[in-house]
Amino acid sequence: MCDVPRVSEEHRTARRRQIVEAARRCFLREGFHRTSMQDVITEADLSVGAVYRYFPSKTDLINAIAEQAIGGAGQVLTELTRQDPPLPLLAVLDRMLAYIETQLDEDGALRIAIQVWGESQRDPALAAFVAETYTGLREHFTALVRRAQRSGELPAHADPDATGAALFGLVPGWYIQRLLTGVPDRATYLTGVAALLGATPRSS
């Protein structure tokens, strides 16, 4: 008797994941606007009631997809801010881009993230989620800058918020170029960043 709630929760989690993955495939193929709830229901191979029980609207699905697309980056940054001793900032950027690189293929989260950006321009609720999420990511970079100041890598008088924002900007700056043009590769980009920072790139 005690095992029933646990199994039930596992079932709900698995079913929700099944629907989200089906929606992600549909959105990657057709985009948010051309994908209907019926498309997702067909892709998930579930009944109408089963899908609507978890996601009453397409907006709910888009929000779930957005969380999935962006959440992994936050986990990586959390680990980096807890690294002891702290990594040099160029190594931090290398680790972050290495994670991003795993999300750049045709089924990767970054292609969905780009769609989320566009959809957030017309959906106030999604816009609020995107703003909150990216503000959180930027704050991780600000924390990394403060650690670099304490270690002597950056000058103490540098503005942590401004420097963190600039460092954060290097991440989408790279993957947007990769998505749109196919280049530069991670090593080439890091070599350029190292030249700007006057640092020595680490081999990965």
- Is the same domain home to 66 and 148? yes
Mark whether 97 and 167 lie in a shared domain: yes
Residues spanned by the domain of 126: 59-197
Q: Would you state the pLDDT for residue 113?
A: 86
Residue 152 to residue 89: CA distance in whole angstroms: 12
Give yes or no for residue 204 having a pLDDT over 70. no
**pLDDT tens digits, residue range 132-145?**
999 999 999 999 99
Same domain, 38 and 112: no
| 203 in a structural domain | no
Whether 204 is in a domain gets the answer no
HSE (CB half, 13 Å, CA atoms) of 41?
15
Q: Which helix (H) or strand (E) holds 104?
A: none
Distance CA 174, CA 176 (A): 6
Whether 140 and 93 share a structural domain? yes
Evaluate if residue 4 carries a pLDDT over 70: no
Same domain, yes or no: 95 and 137 = yes
pLDDT for position 6: 56
Give φ, ψ of 104 to 5 degrees.
-100, -5
CATH at 177 = 1.10.357.10
Global pTM exceeds 0.85: no
- The pLDDT-based confidence of 101 (bands split at 50, 70, 90) is very high
Which residues in 56-79 are b (16+ Cβ under 10 Å) and which e? eebeebbbbbbebbbeebeebbee
- In this predicted model, what pLDDT tens digit does every residue of 146-168 receive, in sequence order? 999 999 999 999 999 999 999 99
How many other β-carbons are positioned within 10 Å of the β-carbon of residue 134? 16
Does 191 lie in the same domain as 109? Answer: yes
Same domain? For 63 and 37 the reply is: no
